[in-house]
Amino acid sequence: MVKEAIPPTSAQASSADQPKPGVHPSGNLAVKCIKCKELLYGRDWEKNLKVCPRCNYHFKLTAQERIDLLADPGSFVEIDDDIISVDPLHFVSRSEVYADKLEEKRQDTGMNEAVVVGHITIEGLPLALAVMDFRFMGGSMGSVVGEKITDVIEFGIERGIPVLISSVSGGARMQEGLYSLMQMAKTSAALAKLGEAKIPYFSLITDPTTGGVTASFAMLGDITLAEPGALVSFTGPRVIEQFMHIKLPEGVVNSEFALQHGMIDAVVHRRELRHTLAKLLHLYSHNGNM
Amino acid sequence: MVYDLEFEKPLAELEKKIHALQRKGEHLKPDERIQLLRAEQDLQHRTEEIYKTLTAWQTLLVARHKDRPYAADYIRLICDDFFELHGDRSFGDDHAIMTGPAKLDGTTVFMVCHQKGRDMKEKQYHNYGLAHPEGYRKSARVMQQAEKLGFPVICLVDTSGASPALPDEERGQAEAVAYNLYLMSRLRVPIIAAVIGEGGSGGALAISVADRILMLEHSIYTVASPEAASSILWRDRAFGAQAAEAMRISARELKALDLVDELVPEPLGGAHRDHQLTAANLKAALLKHLAELKQLPVDELLEQRYQKFRAIGKFGRVS
């Protein structure tokens, strides 16, 4: 069984990035790899954590799938699940009615917003975490995303436990104007406080992470990891191309590019993610130190 | 100075009429003299009217006016002394951001300012105010120096955004911006940011995490330049005006939303009409806020700064 393919997202999302459901020649439900166009058995693809076995393309995960991947079974406790977006600017312009779009996305995704926050354990070690979800308006950051992320960082400070943010985002949310931009400052200030409390912060970058999210918490990790082949940049490739009047080669400004230029610590395959985080939580813990 | 903006057309026509009459000088007939007087009054009146109700897009045009004072003009007009500090000590010197100590009313402050450049040669030299990572890293270095030595920081913000080229990605534009947000949120000296023209996106925020955010009356501050927002929302850069209105980017609207602390008045018809007067207004506002901030013990200053940004955002709760 293949899960329903995710419907095309908002204008802030790139619509070409979700698997297209299809029927495999054998008659089983299948998905087509966005990158190498290989037709994949749905079940194999799911078992492979939604990574294409042929080209290693890491499909997007929903926030819930990501939490299931990382957390000890049953350890996830959500906080702030009741916060929802309002429309602070009464944004209505051309075809865009923000209040309607919010309602539509809530219906489509069953989520209140583009991030889920809470705490988990990984191999018994506690971790506060925020996981973004691209389906909700391209994971864009408005007031609620900023608030929930700040809350979970402050939760980490109160409890004295490390914080992980798993990013996937087209950047700041246009429909909340300057409120959105200021969430970059708010979340970064909370991370600075976390740092003063001497608590480690892990940043996980997944495909795609761009704009105001990259230019705030995604790039402030004490340890910054990225999934293979994830688009990661301040400016999106399309805008770079327009600005420079060039055509960018395939795969530039991705995880490997960021690693090569010294911007992140490691590129980690999805299969290794939970294990890597467990190892890091051990290494960054004072327990056992004299 | 001529009225040259699109929405100033009625003013330009009045001005033309006035100039034609003025050229006659001594030869003005008595009724022409009255016409001239009326036209001058009319011009004043109409300018007031138009500038009182500028739309967001019109405000942007004023904020981008080619004769608008830039940071270097303000430094020259309001500081008694200034020494420019160059370079990020890592890769290069970015001319889109000017930094250095200055004397403001007898006390030392550290200036961190975008600089756009006026003629073509200057614009190229300053990269149109689009800072590279080196500019933000130079800013960080200079702000840390100010912190170490105990001097307040004043940031003059005027950019349509951080430079969006591939080499900027290679050198970590996102990290450079992010690091400044992190650093400024805990910098142990007072920080005042004043948006003097365009406050564009992360490139503006990277030098404006401050205790006070001031905006000149006809400046703008926005999550993305209206053209970029139009492209993101509608895949077409042509709807900048609509995006500007919907995002409420003008200083006046942002003050009404309580997102900025104070508007600094501009002369009638915009800052470009009187650099001296605008600079004097800016100086007075800076000195007032500086005096207030200096009264605060540093831990309280930092807590207030934290709470200031902590409180920004509007949301509801599901019942």
pLDDT tens for B113-169 read 999 999 999 999 999 999 999 999 999 999 999 999 999 999 999 999 999 999 999
C-beta atoms of A94 and B239 within 8 A: yes
Q: What is the pLDDT of residue B258?
A: 97
User: Can you give the pLDDT at residue A19?
Assistant: 57
- % of chain B beyond a pLDDT of 90: 92
B135 touches chain A (CB under 8 A): no
Distance CA A233, CA A211 (A): 7
Taking an 8 Å cut-off on Cβ atoms, the answer to whether B164 and A234 are in contact is yes
Q: Flag whether pLDDT at B279 surpasses 80.
A: yes
Query: What pLDDT digit, counting tens, does each position of B200-225 carry?
Result: 999 999 999 999 999 999 999 999 99
Question: Which among B136, B227, B235, B247 is the top mutation candidate for probing chain A, defined by the most A β-carbons within 10 Å of its own β-carbon?
Answer: B247
Contact B93, B125 (CB under 8 A): no
Q: Is B247 on the interface with A (CB under 8 A)?
A: yes
The answer to whether B109 and B102 are in contact (CB under 8 A) is yes
Which A residues in the span 1-40 are in contact with B, Cβ-Cβ below 8 Å?
Answer: 11-12
Lowest mean pLDDT among A9-18, A270-279, B80-89, B163-172: A9-18
- Rounded to an integer, what distance in angstroms lies between the CA atom of residue A100 and that of residue A107? 11
Q: What is the mean pLDDT of residues B263-269?
A: 97
**pLDDT value for A220:** 98
Query: What is the average pLDDT value for chain A, to the nearest integer?
Result: 90
Q: Is residue B107 pLDDT above 90, yes or no?
A: yes
How high is the pLDDT of residue A124?
96
ipTM value: 0.96
For residue range A105-135, what is the model confidence (pLDDT) as tens digits? Answer: 999 999 999 999 999 999 999 999 999 999 9
Cα dihedral value A68, A16, A57, A277, nearest 10 = -30
Question: What is the per-residue pLDDT for A22?
Answer: 57
Of A205, A130, A207, which Cα lies nearest the Cα of A162? Answer: A130
**Statement: residue A263 has pLDDT above 80:** yes
Rounded to whole angstroms, how far apart are CA atoms A78 and B120?
55
How far apart CA A61 and CA A24 sit, in angstroms, is 22
Cα–Cα dist A214/A237, whole Å: 14
Q: Please tell me which of the candidates A95, A180, A189 has its beta carbon nearest to residue B223.
A: A180
The pLDDT score that the predictor gives to residue A13 is 42
Find the closest chain A residue to B235 by CA distance.
A11
Average pLDDT over residues B229-256: 95
| Amino acid at site A231 | L
- Predicted local distance difference test score (pLDDT) of residue B193: 98
pLDDT of residue A16: 43
**DSSP secondary structure letter of residue A259:** H
The three-class DSSP label of residue A5 is: coil
Chain A, chain B: beta-carbon pairs less than 8 Å apart:
212
The partner residue sitting opposite A188, judged by closest CB among B185, B246, B305, is B185
Residue of chain B with shortest Cα separation from A234? B174
Least confident of A3-12, B82-91, B279-288: A3-12
Using a CB–CB cutoff of 8 Å, tell me whether A139 touches chain B. Answer: no
Kindly state the average pLDDT of the residues B29-33. 88
pLDDT for position A95:
83
Beta strands A266-267 and A232-233, pairing class: unpaired
**Is the distance from CB of B113 to CB of B76 less than 8 angstroms?**
no
Give the single-character DSSP code of B14.
H
Asked whether the beta carbons of B185 and B309 are under 8 A apart, the reply is yes
Confirm or reject contact between B242 and chain A (CB < 8 A): yes
* Residue A4: predicted pLDDT: 37
Q: Which residue of B has its CA nearest to A245?
A: B165
Q: Estimate to the nearest angstrom the gap between the alpha carbon of A188 and the chain centroid.
A: 17
Centre a 10 Å sphere on the Cβ of residue A154 and count the other Cβ atoms it contains. 16
pLDDT > 70 fraction of chain B, expressed in percent and rounded: 100
A141 interfacial to chain B (CB closer than 8 Å):
no
Of A143, A180, A184, which has the smallest distance from its Cβ to B315's Cβ? A143
**Are B177 and A215 in contact (CB < 8 Å)?**
yes
Q: Give the best residue of A174, A213, A244, A261 to mutate against chain B (max B CB count within 10 A).
A: A174
B235-244 long-range Cβ contacts below 8 angstroms, 24+ apart? B235/A11, B239/A93, B239/A94, B240/B57, B241/B55, B241/B57, B242/A93, B242/A94, B243/A93, B243/A174, B244/B55, B244/B56, B244/B57, B244/B60, B244/B220
Which residue's entry shows tokens 């409120």? Answer: A179
Is the pLDDT at A265 greater than 60? The verdict is yes
Give residues 155 to 214 of A whose Cβ lies within 8 Å of B: 170, 172-186, 188-193, 195-196, 211-212, 214
Question: Within the 143-202 window of chain B, which residues sit less than 8 Å (CB to CB) from chain A?
Answer: 162, 164-166, 168-175, 177-179, 181-183, 185-186, 201-202
Predicted pLDDT at A93: 87
Q: How far apart are CA B176 and CA B138, in angstroms?
A: 10
Q: pLDDT tens across B5-14, in order?
A: 999 999 999 9
Instruction: State how far the Cα of A207 lies from the Cα of A226, in Å rounded to an integer.
Output: 9
Q: Does B228 touch chain A (CB under 8 A)?
A: yes
Q: What separation, in Å, do the N-terminal and C-terminal C-alpha atoms of chain B show?
A: 58
CB-CB neighbors (< 8 A) of A233 in chain B: 169, 174
Least trusted range by pLDDT, from A36-50, A276-290, B52-66, B191-205: A276-290
Residues of B in contact with A93 (CB under 8 A): 233, 239, 242-243, 245-246
Distance from CA of A181 to the nearest CA of B (A): 5
Predicted pLDDT at A286: 85
Q: Which residues of A touch B222 (CB under 8 A)?
A: 177-178, 181
Residues of A in contact with B231 (CB under 8 A): 239
Q: Which residue of B has its CA nearest to A195?
A: B182
Cα–Cα distances (Å) from B263 to B110, B281, B286, B287, in that order, read 22, 10, 11, 14
Token pair for A37: 């166009």
Residues in a beta bridge with A205: A167, A226
Token pair 């010197």 is found at: B93
Q: What contacts A104, CB < 8 A, 6 or more positions away?
A: none
CB contact residues (below 8 A), chain A span 89-128, against chain B: 89, 91-96, 112
- How far B222 CA sits from the closest chain A CA (Å)? 5
pLDDT digits (tens, 9 = 90+) for A20-36: 555 555 556 888 998 89
Q: Say what the pLDDT of residue A123 is.
A: 96
Beta bridge partners of A169: A209
Alpha-carbon dihedral B10, B14, B15, B20, rounded to 10 degrees: 140
Q: Which of residues 55-94 of A touch B (CB under 8 A)?
A: 82-86, 88-89, 91-94
How does pLDDT run across B166-196, given as a tens digit for each residue? 999 999 999 999 999 999 999 999 999 999 9
Contact B18, B39 (CB under 8 A): yes
Phi, psi of A219 (to 5 degrees): -100, 15
Which residue in this structure is represented by tokens 């951001």?
B97
pLDDT tens readout for residues A45-103: 999 999 999 999 999 999 999 999 999 999 999 999 999 999 999 999 888 899 999 99
For A184, the closest of B205, B232, B249 (CB atoms) is B205
| A contacts of B239 (beta carbons < 8 Å) | 93-94
* Dihedral of alpha carbons B58, B64, B67, B71, sign: positive
Q: Do A85 and B316 touch (CB under 8 A)?
A: yes
Mean pLDDT check: name the lowest of A1-10, A207-216, A253-262, B309-318: A1-10
* DSSP helix, strand, coil percent of chain B (3-state; round to 5): 55, 15, 30
